[in-house]
Amino acid sequence: MKTQLSDHFNYKKLLLFTFPSIIMMVFTSIYSVVDGFFVSNFVGKTSFAAVNFIMPVLMILGSIGFMFGAGGSALVSKTMGENDLDRAQRLFSLFVYSTAACGVIVAVVSFIFLRPIAALLGAQGEMLDSSVAYGRILLAALPFYMLQFEFQSFFITAGKPHLGLVVTVICGLANMALDALFVAVFAWGLAGAAAATVVSQVLGGVIPLVYFGRKNSSQLRLTKTQADGRALLKACANGSSELMSNISISVVSMLYNFQLMRYAGEDGIAAYGVLMYVNMIFLAVFIGYSTGIAPMVGYHYGAQNHPELQGLLKKSCAVIGVFSLLMFALAELLAKPLAGVFVGYDQELMAMTQRAFMIYSFSFLFSGIAIYGSSFFTALNDGLTSALISFLRSMVFQVAAVLILPIFWELDGVWLSVVAAEFVAAGMTVLFLIARRQKYHY
């Protein structure tokens, strides 16, 4: 049976509709880990360090597409809920065309200034050369990378979340297969790894363009449009939390590395790297669910269907609660085997990583609340509240915790920092939800 945003969603229907988004985010996280595996094992640790060094910069640039996708889809779904399909089509087209144009401009500027940016961040010698070479190859596909991020949200708004999953799987499999071919077989080194990523990103942008550019069975299609600065600003404001999250994560990661080098040296940074790989996969469940349900919230808010809006929030709180308990239990149970997979060759490092897992896993009890809360307010077209939740969670609370807690608990204080930050962010999100309930009638 075809599911539409206007439907009433019980738990079964809700999970079936959001499941493709969850799997899409988890799969994206997994193939990023596989990408790192090939570079580390077939190219070398310096190249692996270079990839991880420059990737936050590229992620910040690519997240501009995520901003347009999350913020734009909120506005489009609200317009659809108001039963103005023609305007929804024009807005959708405007956001896609604007993202593509923005991608070209940002790619050209970034290509010119990438070396001084990498040097300013601290890269030197071979690592600097490798970071710039890898980054410049990927910048060739930046417009498609931004579109790939954007279409992940718009496939859901169009009522076709399964197509978004299919595209993500195609891109992921292409990336992994070409990594194996270019890096392991042809021995093209770092350039081969970059080329594999470029191909997957181009596919991720072109396939949705072809689908939405032709007559299709969804409610969205690329059409003629016109400039609408107000709508663009609204989309940017709505999606600013997604952009802020990516910027904050990069800054906070640098601070964590600084503290870990101080308290545990290179082993601490290695252990943190393993945590980040696993954290990326686990949090993908919360992000996927929140992204998947956002268009429903936007639609029923636009349609002024307050009972359905209330039902979606209550059900989502229950779903997030169950996911949180499952993530915590899995992290505790898998702490030792996961540490063994990544750093089993060094017993001392493995013991440190396992202990870090056991502490860090408590953060999964709270992280889903703030992630969902930020996405929920984005869907309500309340970009300010969404950005506040995201910025406080990913930047302010994290920075404060990682600077203060190690003073009392040293290395354990670093691992506890994420738990403390997520706990405070969850409480803050609940307060925002209570304070805004009369305004949005949820």
Q: What is the pLDDT of residues 165-186, one digit of tens each?
A: 899 889 989 998 999 999 999 9
pTM: 0.73
Based on the domain organization, do 101 and 137 belong to the same domain? yes
**Total domains present in the chain:** 2
In the chain, what's the furthest Cα-to-Cα distance? 62
Based on the domain organization, do 409 and 349 belong to the same domain? yes
Does a structural domain hold residue 416? Answer: yes
Confidence of residue 433 (pLDDT cuts 50, 70, 90): very high
Based on the domain organization, do 193 and 71 belong to the same domain? yes
Q: What is the pLDDT of residues 372-409, one digit of tens each?
A: 999 899 888 887 898 889 888 888 998 999 999 999 99
- Share of residues in the chain with pLDDT > 70 (%): 93
Let me know if 345 is exposed, middle or buried by CB neighbors in 10 A (0-12, 13-18, 19+): exposed
Based on the domain organization, do 45 and 127 belong to the same domain? yes
Please give the Cα distance from 68 to 50 (Å, whole number).
Answer: 29
Q: Does pLDDT of 356 surpass 60?
A: yes
Please give the Cα distance from 62 to 64 (Å, whole number).
Answer: 5
The pLDDT of residue 72 is 87
Let me know if 356 is exposed, middle or buried by CB neighbors in 10 A (0-12, 13-18, 19+): buried
Based on the domain organization, do 205 and 312 belong to the same domain? no
Based on the domain organization, do 247 and 231 belong to the same domain? no
Confidence of residue 159 (pLDDT cuts 50, 70, 90): confident
Please give the Cα distance from 297 to 66 (Å, whole number).
Answer: 18
Taking a C-beta distance cutoff of 8 angstroms, is the pair 62, 139 a contact? no
Q: Which of 292, 295, 191, 185 shows the shortest CA–CA distance to 238?
A: 295
Count each helix (H run) and each strand (E run) in the chain, helices first: 15, 0
Q: Which of 46, 160, 149, 37 shows the shortest CA–CA distance to 103?
A: 149
Based on the domain organization, do 246 and 210 belong to the same domain? no
Which secondary-structure segment (H or E) carries 10? none
Please give the Cα distance from 209 to 228 (Å, whole number).
Answer: 21
Other C-beta atoms closer than 10 Å to the C-beta of 434 total 9
Taking a C-beta distance cutoff of 8 angstroms, is the pair 134, 52 a contact? no
Residue 367 domain boundaries: 239-442
Helix 265-302 with 11-42: angle, nearest 10 deg: 150
Q: What is the pLDDT of residues 41-68, one digit of tens each?
A: 788 766 766 777 787 788 888 888 878 8
For the four alpha carbons of 164, 170, 173 and 176, in that order, the dihedral sign comes to negative
Structure-token pair, residue 219: 């409610």
Based on the domain organization, do 289 and 316 belong to the same domain? yes
Place of tokens 């799997």: 23
Based on the domain organization, do 232 and 373 belong to the same domain? no
Q: Which of 93, 16, 57, 4 shows the shortest CA–CA distance to 289?
A: 16
